[in-house]
Amino acid sequence: MNYETFKKVLSKANNIAVVISVILVLIGTAIIVNMLLGIENKKTVSIVIGMFFGVLLLILGVIAFKRMLSDQLQARNDTHPILKAIKEGDRGYLMWVYVEQINTTLGHDGPKVGTSQNVNYFTRDCKGKGKTIMTGKNYTAAEIIAYLSTEFDIPYLDYSDKTREAMNTYFGTSGLKKL
């Protein structure tokens, strides 16, 4: 993997999340419109509940869309913070990088039907709020981490209790804000 390949990974990493966020916006909008149409034939309670869920889905969708699309556009324009750090030779930018495995099951404690892996990362100035790189089908999380390891001197490359505690100390997070 090289810089251009990594840039493509970042620019395409959240495609599915962007699509899901658009779907949330559309469903939220549809619920709101449905509640407003024929309002005289509906009970107040159903209107309030419908509007609440419609607005909730709309807001969640807009927030997710903004966050995901922002990362993609930054990657395409070479302004993504990781890409900028690589260009500037800032080898100490990444503090903690690890693989997050997601298992898909049928129902609670049901059989596992699939897995996927994402790369979670924390930068030295992220204030304890990590970000995710969704790996997709073309590159594995291990390949992305291997590339990042060539560009950065990453102190923590695993997820363990010891690492998590070290990061909580570094970021000053405690109580409910613990990582």
CB-CB contact of 179 with 167 (8 Å): yes
Token look-up 């913070």 returns 81
pLDDT, tens digit (0-9, with 9 covering 90-100), for 137-162? 888 999 999 999 999 999 999 999 99
Partners of 132 in the β-ladder: 120
Q: Taking Cα atoms as reference points, which of 125, 121, 69 lies closest to residue 100?
A: 121
Torsion of CA 58, 21, 94, 75, to 10 degrees: -120
pLDDT tens per residue, the chain (179 residues)? 899 999 988 888 777 788 889 999 999 999 988 888 877 777 878 888 888 999 999 999 999 888 888 888 888 888 999 999 999 999 999 999 999 888 777 777 778 777 788 899 999 988 888 888 888 788 899 999 999 999 999 999 999 999 999 998 888 887 767 77
